[in-house]
Amino acid sequence: MFPLTSRLRFGLRYCTYTLSKRRSSQHHGICWYTTNYSRKLRGPTAQDVSYFRSILARPDKSVLDGTATHDVMDELQKYNIDWTKHYQGSSDLVLRPQTTSEVSSILKYCHENYIGITPQGGNTSLCGAATPISNEIILSMEYMKRIYKLDEYSGILTCDAGCILQSLHDYAKEAGYLFPLDIGSKGTCHIGGNVSTNAGGHHFFRFGGLHGTVVGMEVVLADGRVLRMNIDADDDNDDDCTHRFQYSSASLRKDNTGYDLKQLFIGGEGTLGIITKVAVACPSLPMSKNVALLVCKSYTDVLQVLKATKEELGETLSAIELIDWNTMKFVQEYGSGIGESLISELLSPGATNQPLFILVESQGCDPESDSKKMDAFLTGLYELSAIENGFLAQDSTQIEQIWGIRENCNPSVARAGFVHKFDVSIGIESYMEVAEEVRVALNTANLSNLTVCVWGHVADGNAHINIVSKQFDKDVATAERIENIVYSSVMKRRGSISAEHGIGQSKRKYMHQIKDGAVLELMSQMKNLFDPHSILNPGKYLPEN
C-alpha cells in the first residue's frame, strides 16, 4: 500500500516532496505512492489552483486557497484538525464543489496529475478519517446539500451527500417519515460521511444499518467517472451523463440486477470513491415514543432487562443504551446542563455502589397500547428487583432530557481530559468484561490517574470505552500500551476493534492482525481497481504492506 516513510502523529521523518511550493511551517513531508510504487503523489500547486478556479462555477465560494498566502490559515485549520483534536493535517487547499460534475472534473484532474485528495463531510470522524495527513487537497461536500425528494409511498429520500443529518430528520418528519439513522453528531455530520463510515447510531437495533437502508447512490470514482446506482436525482446542468443509461433503475426498494457495488462504498471511508448523492429508505414516523432511564445494580441485571425488552416491548423496542457511573459523573460535571436535576438524582448515594444506567426507548403506532407495554415492562422488572429504580419520561421535554444525557456522554468526556477512545464490539454477555479487565490491567501496569468510562449500544454489543487522563499524554508509549491492553482484551474474545467508528488513521496498523490474509489481498486489489493512482484518502483504511 503506502510505504509510509514516516510515523504519523508523534515523530515524523521527512522525505523530499515533489513540485509543490510549500510553506515550510506546517508541512509534514509525507510522501504517498501509487500502489505499484511507480509514481509519487504530490500536493497542489498554484497552477492547479488556477485550473480549479477555471472549472468551478463559483470559485470565490468553492476554492479556499492557502497555497500562496497565509491569510486563510484560520479557516483552513478547521478543515485540517479533527473533532477529537488528535489529528492535524497541513492541507493548503480546500475545494467545495456545488455539483456532481464539478466533483467529477476535480477528481479527473487530480487522477491525471497524481494529486492526493481527502474527502470531508462534517469532519466529525472519531478515527481521523476525514482530515488530511499531509497536504492532500480537502474536498469538502458542504455546498452539496440539496434534498431532492421523499417519495410519499416508498419513503425513499433522495439527497446530496453534503446534507446535514439533522436537516434530513426535519425534512422527513414534516412528511411523516423518520430518517433511520440517528447519532449524537447529527447537528454537524453529513449523510455522505455517515454512509462512507457505515455509521451505526442509536436506532441501529431497530432499523438496521445503512447497508440495508441505503437503496441508491451516486458516486464519483477517482478518475472522474460517475457511477449511478439505483438513484434518481439531477443536480441541474449535469451533462456528465454519457454513462447514464436511460433505462437504469431509479430509487427502487428492490433491485437484484447485478453486483451491488454501492455496498463497497458504504463503510469504504472515501477510499474507493466519493459519494455525491444517496437514496435512503425511511420508515414511517412512529406515533408513540416512550423513554425510560433505568438503574441496575449490576450487569447481570442489565442482561435481565435485555431479555425483558424482547418479551415485553417486542417490536416496539427502538433503542437500548448503557451509561456507566464514571460517564454519568463526567456528564454531570462537563455536560451542557441538560437533565441536570435528573442526573443529580441518579448520582445521589443510593442502595448500590455505582449502578449502571440503561436508557430504554420504544416507538410504535399506537400510543395507548405502547404506553401499556412500557408500563408492564417496567413493573415486571421492578417487581423482580432487576431494576433498582426507573425514571419514566412523561412528556417530550423529559424524553429530550434523557436523550440529551446520553448524547452528552461523548462531548462531556472529551472536555474532562485527554481521551483514549475505543469503540468495540463484543458478545452481549461479555459487554462489561473488557472494561473490567482493562481497569485491572491498567492498575497492574501502574498506569494510574486514568478513568475508564463505558457507554454504548448494549443490544448491539457495541461498547464505547473511553479512558480519560487528566493530563495530555505526550508519551506515545503510554498511549500504545493502553491501546494494546484494550485491543488484546477485545481480540481474545474475538470481538471487533471498531464496531462503528471505522478505521481511518487510528486503526490501520491492526488490519493485518484482525483480517484474514485473503480478505486483505482482495481489499487491496479492489482499491487498485477503483483508484489505480491511489489518490483517494491516502494513508488511511488499508494497512501498509
Torsion of CA 39, 44, 45, 51, to 10 degrees: 110
Q: Using DSSP bridges, classify how beta strands 137-140 and 117-120 pair: parallel, antiparallel or unpaired.
A: parallel
Task: In whole angstroms, give the CA distance from residue 346 to residue 325.
Answer: 9
For the segment 95-154, give every residue that binds another protein (CB under 8 A).
none
- Taking contact as CB under 8 A, which single stretch among the options 155-163, 286-294, 431-439, 493-501 is the one that binds another protein? 286-294
Alpha-helix runs per DSSP H in 363-475: 367-383, 396-407, 409-416, 433-444
Q: How many CB atoms lie within 10 A of CB 27?
A: 18
User: x/- contact string, 171-200, with another protein (CB under 8 A)?
Assistant: --xx-x------------------------
- Taking contact as CB under 8 A, which single stretch among the options 220-228, 328-336, 384-392, 446-454 is the one that binds another protein? 384-392
Q: Does 57 bind another protein (CB under 8 A)?
A: no
Pick the binder of another protein from 63, 64, 303, 392 (CB under 8 A): 392
Quick one: 401 or 451, whose CB is closer to another protein? Answer: 401
Closest distance of CB 366 from another protein, Å: 7
Q: Does 284 bind another protein (CB under 8 A)?
A: no
The x, y and z cell numbers of residue 149, run together, are 425528494
Q: Does 379 bind another protein (CB under 8 A)?
A: yes
The H or E element that residue 226 is part of is strand 226-229
For the segment 312-341, give every residue that binds another protein (CB under 8 A).
341
Q: Does 236 bind another protein (CB under 8 A)?
A: no
Closest distance of CB 391 from another protein, Å: 4
In the block, residue with C-alpha cell 468526556:
413
Burial 286-322 (b: 16+ CB within 10 A, else e): bebbbbbbbbbbebebbbbbbebbeebbeebbbbbbb
Q: Is the CB of residue 505 less than 8 Å from the CB of residue 539?
A: yes
Q: Does 367 bind another protein (CB under 8 A)?
A: yes
In the block, residue with C-alpha cell 474532562:
416
Q: Using DSSP bridges, classify how beta strands 93-95 and 137-140 pair: parallel, antiparallel or unpaired.
A: parallel
Quick one: 61 or 492, whose CB is closer to another protein? Answer: 61
Q: Does 545 bind another protein (CB under 8 A)?
A: no
Q: Does 167 bind another protein (CB under 8 A)?
A: no
Pick the binder of another protein from 390, 456, 495, 504 (CB under 8 A): 390
User: Cα angle at 217 between 216 and 223, to 5 degrees?
Assistant: 150
Q: How many CB atoms lie within 10 A of CB 430?
A: 17
Pick the binder of another protein from 368, 477, 516, 517 (CB under 8 A): 368
Q: Does 13 bind another protein (CB under 8 A)?
A: no
Quick one: 58 or 492, whose CB is closer to another protein? Answer: 58
Quick one: 102 or 483, whose CB is closer to another protein? Answer: 102
The x, y and z cell numbers of residue 445, run together, are 501496569
Closest distance of CB 185 from another protein, Å: 22
Closest distance of CB 287 from another protein, Å: 5
User: Cα angle at 433 between 428 and 439, to 5 degrees?
Assistant: 150
- Taking contact as CB under 8 A, which single stretch among the options 86-94, 359-367, 457-465, 500-508 is the one that binds another protein? 359-367
The DSSP bridge partners found for residue 424 are 463
Q: Does 73 bind another protein (CB under 8 A)?
A: no
Q: Name which of 20, 16, 52, 91 is nearest 538 in CA terms.
A: 91
Q: Does 398 bind another protein (CB under 8 A)?
A: yes
Closest distance of CB 177 from another protein, Å: 11
DSSP 45: -
- Taking contact as CB under 8 A, which single stretch among the options 68-76, 364-372, 510-518, 535-543 is the one that binds another protein? 364-372
Q: Is the CB of residue 144 less than 8 Å from the CB of residue 98?
A: yes
Q: Is the CB of residue 29 less than 8 Å from the CB of residue 14?
A: yes
Quick one: 239 or 395, whose CB is closer to another protein? Answer: 395
Taken as a whole, the chain contains a residue count of 545
Q: Does 382 bind another protein (CB under 8 A)?
A: yes
Q: Does 344 bind another protein (CB under 8 A)?
A: no
Q: Which residues form the interface with another protein (CB under 8 A)?
A: 58, 173-174, 176, 287-289, 293, 341-342, 345, 365-368, 371, 375, 378-379, 382, 387, 389-399
